[in-house]
Amino acid sequence: MTDAEIIDRLKADLGGKIVELTHPAPRRLFLKAAPGDLLAVTGTLRDKYGVVFLSTITGVDKGETFEIIYHFSTPEQDFNLRTELPRARPHVESISSLIPGAVLYERELQDMFGIVVDHIPDARRLVLSDDWPEGQYPLRKDWKHERPVEVIPGGES
Amino acid sequence: MAVLRTLLYLFVYPGLLFLFAYSTFCEWFDRKVFARLQNRMGPTHTGSFGLLQPIADFIKLLAKEDVVPAAADKGLFRVLPAFGLAVVSAAGLLLPVWNFDLAVPSFTSFQGDLIVLLYLLSLPTLIIFLAAWSSTNYFSSIGGARVLTMLFGYEVPLFLAVLSPAILAGSWRLAEIAAFYQAKPLLILPNLLAFAIAVVAVQAKLERCPFDIPHAETEIVGGTFTEFSGKKLALFRLMFDIEMVVSSGLLAAVFLGGFPGGALVGFAHLVVKTLFVIFLLSLIRALTSRIRIDQVVTLAWKYLAPLAVLQLLIIILLKGLLS
Amino acid sequence: MKFQIPIGPQHPALKEPISLRMTVEGEVIVDADIRLGYNHRGVEKVAEEKNWTQNLYLSERICGICSHSHSTCYVQGVEKLMDIAPPPRGMYIRYLVSELERVHSHLLWLGVAGHEAGFDSFFMYTWRDREVVMDLLEMITGNRVHYAINAVGGVRRDLDDLQKAKVLEGVKILRERSVYYFRIGASEPSFVARIAGVGVLPLEKAVALCAVGPTARASGWARDVRKEDPYAVYGELEFDVPTADTCDVLGRVVVRVKELLESYKLIEQMIHKLPEGPIAAKVPRKAKPGEVVSRYEAPRGENLHYIKSNGTDKPERLKVRAPTLANYPATVEMLRSGFIADIPLIFAAIDPCICCAERAVVLTSARSGEESIVRLGDLRRQALERHQKAPLKRNAVWPF
């Protein structure tokens, strides 16, 4: 199936749910959906297009909103599904019921951007340490690193 | 004179001093063979050809900080390494390396010393188990459990294998068994199967690859010796070295015709025959990968033990034929 | 009696820090959990403050073993963003290095697998032969670990005829040795007893948990980015994607050794087809605004970089997904209901590269807590001084 055919099929299947569909390079499709439609779109992709593999989930801080991109791929095509969440209330539904392997990336998203993933089966921290202060999300643009004063036992300072 | 002779026997040859020197040499030999089989150099730096490396390692360990864990059973934890060393050194005395007068049994050669030797060689396993258990570390506990599981695997095949040459010789005394095979060297051949089984069992007893399961570092860190450091670890390592010498000496005495011909020639026999056995052990160590604990038990009870029984059967039939 | 044993963050089986928490009952594992973060360096954050060229070197330092993978994956994306096409000769050299890296990584893994199983002889032999490919890499790139051959728009170094001949010669030796290791790895009884039927990952689980690379291929899922999304030169070359259907550690050994043989084929084709011409193109300092998803088949599986540009000389966002991270859920699945003795093997079987999965270095003096930055020249001088002061090593002689 060529890229153009897939685009036509996607438009027919998901017409209303896709806000935007771009095709910047061969084999790369970027879809945009509202946060509420995420689960439905993923479900359709999985059932009708054989999308079972999630490479990762990227978060991007765009100031007023957070953009998150799910990078799916099949042997023929890459689907990048994006959605935008308001910064004030960053909630998104977990897709781990459809793709169990997504949990790891959703945990990473929670750690790094403070996006709350609803109904995630395992909400513990993944990459940040246990004593990391609450409310600090390193990959947000307004977060700046301040090196804490290091206390070395037996050291001079 | 007799007192001097006894003291010499206890402390010099084949007592503590000799055992220390010879076991470190054997460790060097084992390490060198193992390294060459792996395309490495092995110890090269300390002494000529790295001969003094095991001693250097021993001294270095003695100088290291000695930590006793707070939760450990301190008394047991402290005393076990020395106890283990004493047990294997005592076992070393029973080897018939001095030219024994068969007619006049001395205090280290008596009817049944084979059994005592085997018993003394089983003790280190129990000591290691106790040491592991008393250090109360999770890794040690798992290691300790593995030590005991393995003991139930290899001990029976070893005993059965050593039994068969003794039955053929009709004696429980090491010196007499050795003398029997010196007189009839051809009778060594029917015991070859038992010798092979005994070599594998001794490998397991010494916890060397493929049986280094109790202290497999990639699985359970140091296993039984996780909490041991400094002097205690040095003593345990020496214990293993001496145990290697004594058990290969036992195999040499029982299967390879002992050490005949007085102090000097006997000594040459001892060196050649133990090094041969140690060479076999190193070969097994280089050519195999570590197996799992359940596979050890399967190996021992499915293959080694039945083969040992078969060997016993052959020997009993042979003895009937000969008499 | 159930209790929890900590494998890591510091453990002899792990070369890098990670915490595997195993709940065991006797010798049997009943539950497993993975905790990351011991090696988190904030590379993605740092990348936002560095320009396109600096990030090339940063991405190379994400990992020590697959350093070329990350930098190639990054540079592929940046070239697409800048809309430039590197000259074919440059491309061939770049992907020649990436195949050589795959060879070195797989040989390294074979050795590690041997070591984790207590088979040290296998480890010593594979690592000895790995030196052949390390020497080739050093000859081509000038470095053994961080090759630094990539430049935005091509590569930094050219290949001459003598070097080409040497690569072919090295590949010949390596192929012979690999066939031999294949025989040992798949037939030495005590080794096979340890790896056959261990760490089973059925195909449906591999798919559900999004496993990648040799782990997925050993479960019969033939996914290879080089084949399904043929980037750069891979469309012009012939190779197969080896798979195994045993779904266990043995399958992963088989898949990796077969991949070695495929890589030798690829290297030979690349050397023979190496076109003439320049090795690098001139590149602009800034990239156009846009975004790109760059995928690359690293030795451990699919590597994905998402790069977003805002029109300046720095990226707006660089997201790195290393293959090891994708394999963690599958590892937890594999570890369940194994034996304690299988932990190092199963974990090593995904070829974990922990620093990849968690992505600047300031030296902190342990005594005073002062931070210092050591210049490369200083390091070099110190190394030379130390070398000159070091006592002469006696010549090592083997007596027999």
Q: Is A100 on the interface with C (CB under 8 A)?
A: yes
Q: What is the pLDDT, as a whole number, of residue B99?
A: 58
Output the pLDDT for position C363: 41
pLDDT for the residue numbered A9: 83
Residues of C in contact with B139 (CB under 8 A): 5
pLDDT at C400 (0 to 100): 40
Q: What is the residue extent of each domain of chain B?
A: 65-322
Q: Is A27 left (phi over 0), alpha (psi -120 to 50) or beta?
A: left
| Residues 201 through 220 of chain C touching chain B, CB cutoff 8 Å | none
Q: What is the pLDDT of residue B58?
A: 92
pLDDT digits (tens, 9 = 90+) for C294-313: 888 888 888 888 998 888 88
Distance between CA atoms of residues C111 and B268, nearest Å: 40
Subunits next to C (3 or more Cβ pairs <8 Å) are A, B
Answer yes or no: is pLDDT of B28 > 90: yes
CB within 8 Å: B209 and C118: yes
A61 contacts on C by Cβ (under 8 Å): 317
For residue range C331-378, what is the model confidence (pLDDT) as tens digits? 888 888 788 888 888 888 777 776 666 653 444 444 555 555 666 667
Domain ranges of chain A: 3-118
- C308-317 pLDDT, tens digit per residue, is 888 888 888 8
- Check if B291 contacts C (Cβ < 8 Å): yes
Confidence check: pLDDT of A35 > 70: yes
SS3 content of chain B, % helix, strand, coil (to 5): 75, 0, 25
Percent of chain C with pLDDT over 70: 90
Domains and CATH numbers, chain C: 5-30+32-357 (1.10.645.10)
Pick C168 or C20 by higher pLDDT.
C168
ipTM of the complex: 0.87
Least-confidence region, from B8-12, B142-146, C268-272: B8-12
Alpha helix positions (H), A15-154: 38-49, 103-113
> Which of these, A32, A56, A110, lies nearest to C294 by C-alpha position?
A56
**Mutate which of C21, C188, C340, C394 to disrupt the B interface (most B C-beta within 10 Å)?**
C340
> Residue A157 has what pLDDT?
52
Structure tokens at B57: 């390692």
Instruction: Look at A145-149, B173-177, C68-72 and tell me which has the smallest mean pLDDT.
Output: A145-149
Contact at CB, B142 and C191, closer than 8 angstroms: no
C194 touches chain B (CB under 8 A): yes
The architecture (CATH level 2) of A3-118 comes to 2-Layer Sandwich (3.30)
Pairs of residues, one from chain B and one from chain C, whose beta carbons lie less than 8 Å apart: 93
Model confidence pLDDT, tens digit, residues C6-65: 887 888 877 778 888 888 887 888 888 888 878 787 788 888 888 888 888 888 888 888
**Per-residue confidence (pLDDT) for residue B100, from 0 to 100:** 59
Q: Do C190 and B210 touch (CB under 8 A)?
A: yes
Predicted confidence (pLDDT) per residue in B191-210, tens digit: 889 999 999 999 998 888 88
For residue A95, give how far its alpha carbon lies from the nearest alpha carbon of chain C (Å): 12
pLDDT at C370: 56
What does each C-alpha distance from B179 to B157, B171, B184, B267, C254 come to in angstroms?
Answer: 24, 10, 9, 16, 54
Residue C12: closest CA among chain B residues belongs to which residue?
B218
Which chain C residue's Cα is nearest to A113?
C45
- Collect all residues of chain C within an 8 Å Cβ-Cβ radius of residue A59: 319
- Chain centroid to Cα B125, Å, comes to 11
Q: What is the pLDDT of residues A73-122, one digit of tens each?
A: 888 888 888 888 888 888 888 888 888 888 888 888 888 888 888 888 88
Q: Are B157 and B240 in contact (CB under 8 A)?
A: no
Strand, coil or helix: what is C348? helix
CA distance C225 to C206: 17
Given a cut of 50, is residue C398 above it in pLDDT? no
Render pLDDT for B66-118 as a digit per residue (tens, 0 to 9): 888 888 888 888 899 999 999 998 888 888 876 556 666 566 777 888 888 89
Q: What is the pLDDT of residues A64-74, one digit of tens each?
A: 888 899 988 88
Which of C43, C82, C291 would best serve as a mutation to test chain A binding (most A beta carbons within 10 A)? C291
Please indicate whether, in this complex, the C-beta atoms of C292 and A25 are within 8 angstroms of each other: yes
Three-state DSSP class for B249? Answer: helix
